[in-house]
Chains A and B, each alone.
Chain A
Amino acid sequence: MAGFATYADLKQALADQHILTRSFGGAGTSGSGLGPWIGYWTTMVRPTPGSAPASTPGTAYTNATGGIVFPDTSPNLKYLIRSLVTFETGNSDLICIKFVDRLVGVGGLVLTSTGNKTVNSTALPRYTDGGGVEAWLEVSTAGSTTAATVSMNSYTNQDNQNARAGGSISFATATQPANALLGPLPLQAGDTGVKSVETINVSVAAGGSATVNLILVKPLFMHGLNGVQDRRTERSWPLPYIHPIRFYDGATIMMIQRNCTNNTTEFRGSLTVVEG
């Protein structure tokens, strides 16, 4: 039987050392200013950094390079029991980081001209109905000169309804560094997730030469970090936080951060799961 029938079963699994840990470390990207989310897909030092996804229909990520990856344990399940993060930064901005399961990436999207851009994203490898799956844009090549405005004007929702169209969203500033994130892209009323994206529409072009990836992710959990330099934070399960954050087989875990003021932030830490 997968999972834990009782609290005692869970504690026994811990006593039996059914525990897996992965460490990670990476440096963020400076230059986008306070506010935007910033990704660590290509700036991790440990594990090996990821690379830009393929162009349409893109790349589906399963235990992929660039992510924090655990062994598959089927039929047993994996749950986060401890997350430990330390960070170093040159300022005292408050920071929030989130860990997401990176599911699909579609590279080479050009925002320098208006109109529809073909995405036709490949099938989701996990969370396959799209419930709770978010679409974000990830700057792969810096060089924008105008804050682009985009919308997801044709996508398939969590109920497998296609040709859905969400509202528009704009980058916060004209220039965006690589790894800056914009999202989640707005959904059509009534939708709760994204199964695939067919086209995005650029209504205000970025100018310059920037390219972006469209990524589909499932957020897993977050950490808040106090605005004092060089601090540590941790969260644990099942106490005090009972929320059972499950890592699916194949999960490709990526870190994103609420950016602080133009300074590079370095993170190090570890994720520990219990399997049973």
Chain B
Amino acid sequence: MQKIIIFPILATAALVMLTACSSSSVDSKNYPQDPTDVQQARNGSLVANGGMRLFGESDDERYAAGQAIAVNAFLWRASLDTVSFMPIANADPVGGTILTDWYENPETPGERFKINVLILDKKLRSDALKVAIYKQTLDKGKNWRDSKVEPKLARDLEDKILVRARELKIAGQKKTG
């Protein structure tokens, strides 16, 4: 009789504790499933995003909701995340442009950089992102002079933004199971 009473009480207490503690990153895939379901999941799925969505917002729609973003929201957020260590001179979510101000890294005095990020599409694709990096060096007269920048730097930065955008999208998909 005691066991009959105790477990529902404990379950109720656990439910109260669970709901009292919010989380910004609950993820059903962190919890175990029946081994048969795990085997099925291991083989992948014909339909992405955990099945065909019947009701509710898509990942992109939900992510962009309330943020007034006219370009791909994941690329937008990933770009801000990536270049935010520099001062932002202008950020236009409708036009899809992020323009930083000149930034001189304290560890490398005499050099400063400026980054322009252009997001060209609402879809998360590699050709929807363009990054331009500008460099100036200080000459002997303490004047800033434009210097050549290796194209590889801009490509590396684009890759970092695309990887970050992908992480954000996957994180969003996991939240929706």
Answer yes or no: do A and B interact.
Answer: no
Mark B residues whose CB is within 8 Å of A: none
